[in-house]
């Protein structure tokens, strides 16, 4: 299992407390600073200073573009799922965690190839089993799909949308589910387990079906083959990578990082990093409202 020797560079400088949700949209990288409620963008062709697109007064975990509506997003935010306008206007589709017994917020999220939006949740105090995975269908209804998880990250899908990868970060486990045509899990198996003290965080599937995973606490990104074999480890100069993005043109891995809980966080913690790689992935799929 090779350790990649390409040298990471800073693609977008910053001291984001909890950068996350790296997605390729319209030839650029978009990402969030979760606890600050910020959605940011940076050029996909050259390093640069990130630009704020909008800011919410609640945590913003991740977004996906809304198909056919430029500048509009579906978001995992606060205690639920919302549609966001270019001016930051918010239309809540559902807030399933609003009445949770303990404070819970939404976390990572992404659209599957069918244009449905999936997002996970977690308790602020990381109470075991308090996290869930939700699916937002084309008609705007929000369904709880998985329960009993702790910190839900990912999710990531195979090219046909039939395989779902989702991380329970605290447990150090990446699960894989087979889905039916309506997006309901038919099974759930352990795809991979991280045993070196790190936690699986954001992830993406490349055009060859390999899973790339940011490993929080291990200053690394792992690459897994479709059978779950760990085939590469990319070392990073920041201890808390949070999400990964592979542009469709290939050649580069973009990684968001965090400073959360690191009073003496070494630079470039909180920046977006780039590493040369021989891999590509499709651009972010848009949410397809009915």
Kindly write down the DSSP assignment for every residue of 51-75, as one continuous string: EEEEE-SS-EEEEEEBTT-TT-EEE
For the beta carbon of residue 222, count every other beta carbon within 10 angstroms: 24
Q: Using an 8 Å Cβ cutoff, are 84 and 73 in contact?
A: yes
Tokens for 43?
């050029």
Strand partners, 76: 62, 81
Distance CA 252, CA 269 (A): 19
Q: What is the DSSP letter of 265?
A: P
Phi-psi region of 38 (alpha: psi -120 to 50; beta: other; left: phi over 0): beta
Q: Return the active site residues.
A: 201
Distance of CA 135 to the CA centre of its chain: 15
């Amino acid at each position: 299992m090779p350790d990649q020797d390409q040298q990471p560079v800073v693609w977008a400088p910053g001291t984001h407390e909890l950068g996350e949700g790296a997605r390729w949209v319209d030839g650029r990288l978009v990402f969030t600073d979760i606890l600050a409620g910020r959605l940011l963008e940076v050029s996909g062709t050259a390093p640069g200073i990130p630009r704020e697109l909008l800011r919410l007064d609640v945590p913003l975990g991740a977004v996906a573009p809304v198909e056919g509506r430029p500048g509009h997003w579906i978001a995992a935010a606060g205690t639920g799922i919302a549609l966001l306008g270019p001016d930051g206007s918010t239309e809540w589709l559902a807030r399933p965690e609003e009445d949770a017994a303990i404070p819970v917020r939404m976390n990572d999220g992404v659209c599957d190839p069918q244009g449905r939006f999936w997002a996970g949740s977690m308790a602020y105090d990381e109470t075991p089993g308090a996290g869930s995975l939700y699916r937002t269908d084309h008609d705007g209804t929000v369904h709880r799909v998985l329960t009993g998880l702790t910190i839900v990250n990912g999710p990531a899908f195979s090219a046909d949308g039939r395989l779902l990868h989702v991380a329970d970060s605290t447990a150090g486990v990446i699960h894989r589910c087979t889905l039916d045509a309506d997006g309901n899990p038919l099974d759930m198996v352990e795809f991979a387990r991280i045993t070196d003290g790190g936690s699986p965080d954001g992830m993406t599937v490349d055009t060859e079906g390999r899973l790339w995973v940011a490993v929080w606490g291990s200053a690394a990104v792992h690459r897994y083959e479709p059978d779950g074999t760990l085939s590469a480890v990319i070392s990073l100069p920041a201890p808390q990578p949070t999400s990964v993005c592979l542009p469709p043109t290939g050649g580069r891995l973009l990684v968001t990082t965090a400073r959360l809980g690191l009073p003496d966080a070494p630079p470039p913690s909180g920046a977006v990093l780039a590493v040369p790689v021989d891999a590509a992935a499709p651009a972010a799929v848009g949410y397809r409202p009915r």
